[in-house]
Structure 1
Amino acid sequence: MRQSAHGSAETGIPQVRPTASRVPPQPVAADVDRERGVAAGGATRGEHTHSEQPIPGPRPVQRASVRGQILAALRTALVAGELKPGEVYSAPALGDRFGVSATPVREAMQQLALEGAVEVVPNRGFRVVERGTRELAELSEVRALIEVPVMLRLARAVPVERWAELRPSAEATVRAASTGCRATYAESDRAFHRAMLSLSGNEQLVRISDDLHRRAQWPLVGGAAGRGELMADAAEHTALLDALVAHDLDLVRALVGRHFAGAS
């Protein structure tokens, strides 16, 4: 999954070759302006609107879709280690790789900056934040404070058959871990935790926990988890689900505590 970054001959800024496919082309400014004029009830020269109902044009929606695709691709590149901690990446260089302009890349990077994944470097681009074990430990502690009490409460309240329905999700994490691809595993790992927490019926809890989980998945300086670590983490999912189905609350308490103690 890892791909090497190459410096640009003109800027010297590393570039990354993302695994995502090229994004559909963005609308040109003239098209967007024309559509906005119609949506506002105006008419472009030579057109007759009369009593026609204004129809919103699809292109602004497409731009939002492009930005979302770029954000997802950049998050994947972060987890996979394609965007390396401490390196600076420019929006134009990344835009060239994705086949889009620098604008949606810059907007996506601004979102990642808000999440703490990158920091803005004036006149250069964005630097991937270098994370240490202390930050990871702090994230794990916060996740445990939020999720462990909820999981223990759900273990007592949720019917066994509801836990059994999560079996495919738990098995999916094992398959993803067996690939050794951290980005693939990260998606299935978060999906499993979301599925479990969603049984609480608290959407805000699920959203906040998922955000903390995503942050905890960014690789540390010096490398990411290997296949063996991913397999061990996935095995804890299936063991926890077995304990929940068996309604073994003591084992659930022990497994949940152990899982978050080694969360990554």
Structure 2
Amino acid sequence: MAVRGEPTASQGEPSAARGEHTHSEPSAPRLTTPAYVPAPAFPSEASGSPAPRTVRRHSVRGQILQALRTALVGGELVPGEVYSAPVLAERFGVSATPVREAMQQLAVEGAVEVVPNRGFRVTERTPRELAELAEVRALIEVPVMLRLARTVPAARWVELRPLAEATATAAARGDRAHYAETDRAFHRAVLSLAGNEQLLVVADDLHRRSQWPLVSGPVTRHGDLVADAAEHTALLDALIAQDVTVVQSLVREHFTGSAD
């Protein structure tokens, strides 16, 4: 189904629009919007074709960007493979323009790279890159969390309990995409108590990059997700108790012992 207000790939642009060749490209992944995104404007394999709705272009682009990020975290967009905007646009039932714009945003974030006249290649990452990201995140977040552990009253930490529980729920379901979102939401909420907006921007960018799949291996295992989510709850308990020693141990283990 096409989103109203957006021409389909067949109506608005030819499949090889703007010089993007598609004959050698792998089949487009079965991309759908995650269940926790309200009222998706493009079709889902599970739910069928929803009734047409009027959606402004920037909203379409944002929904496609979310869907592409979900597919990236879940491994549906394969590292090293090249995908063209027209082929993905056909899958979503929209023109290639908002898909191309969403892919350009992913290129800015480092998730994909532009391949002239072909499309976008998903970035191939190595275990070393993942370890480097974890190290940088620890250098930034650990000192902040330790300072907050000494200064933030217990009542503020209690307010974050639902966010920790949300990560545990997503982990128990094995929903990696939803876990990625709730995990970042939890960390943002913790760091927001420092009152530094630039810290949130930098930390969230590093966090998002750390969630991309490795080129050589599968996405994070179910058991790892459950263990990481349990660390969120344990960390909150230590913060409420203002046990700085336990907080320091937990946050360091959280960064060095997982990709999250």
**AA aligned opposite 1:135:** E
Residue 67 (structure 1) aligned to one of 56, 61, 72: 61
Map of 1:69-108 to 2, 5 A cutoff? 69-108=63-102
Percent identity between the aligned chains? 71
1:180 — aligned with what?
174
Q: Which residue of 1 aligns with 2:13?
A: none
Alpha-carbon distance in structure 1 between the residues aligned to 2:67 and 2:138? 28
Aligned 8 A contact 2:192 2:200 in 1: yes
So what's the TM-score if we normalise by structure 1? 0.80
User: Is 1:230 the counterpart of 2:225 in the alignment?
Assistant: yes
- Measure how far apart 1:124 and its partner are: 1.1
- What is the aligned partner in structure 1 of residue 155 from structure 2? 161
Is 1:22–1:98's contact at 8 Å kept on the other side of the alignment? no
Match of 1:53 in 2: none
Aligned-partner Cα distance in 1 for 2:42–2:100: 15
How far residue 102 of structure 1 moved from its aligned partner, in angstroms, is: 0.6
Partner in structure 1 of residue 210 of structure 2: 216
Shift of 1:150: 0.4
The answer as to 2:23 corresponding to 1:11 is yes
* Structure 2 Cα separation of the partners of residues 245 and 111 of structure 1: 38
Runs of at least 5 residues in structure 1 that lack an aligned partner in the other structure: 1-9, 25-58
Task: Tell me the CA shift for residue 263 of structure 1.
Answer: 3.6
Q: 1:184 aligns to what SS in structure 2?
A: helix
1:22 Cα deviation after fit: 4.2
2:235 to 228, 232, 240: 240
Is the CA contact 2:148–2:193 (under 8 Å) kept in the aligned structure 1?
yes
Counterpart of 1:6 in structure 2 is none
For 1:200, what is the secondary structure of its paired residue? coil
How much does 1:76 deviate? 0.7
1:230 CA drift (Å): 0.3
- CA offsets, 1:59-103, max 9 Å, x none? 9x9111111111111111100111011111110000011111111
Which amino acid in the other structure matches residue 170 of structure 1? A
Asked if structure 2 preserves the Cα contact closer than 8 Å seen for 1:22 and 1:99, the reply is no
Matched residue, 2:124: 130
Q: Which has the larger radius of gyration?
A: 1
Distance 1:200 1:263 in 2: 24
Partner secondary structure for residue 73 of structure 2: helix
Are 1:155 and 1:247, in contact at CA under 8 Å, matched by a contact in 2?
A: yes
Measure, in 2, the Cα distance between the counterparts of 1:17 and 1:170. Answer: 30
Secondary structure in structure 1 of the residue aligned to 2:114? strand
Moved over 6 A (4+): none
Q: SS at the partner of 2:100?
A: helix
1:35-74 alignment to 2 at 5 Å? 62-74=56-68
Task: Provide the residue aligned with 1:254 in structure 2.
Answer: 249
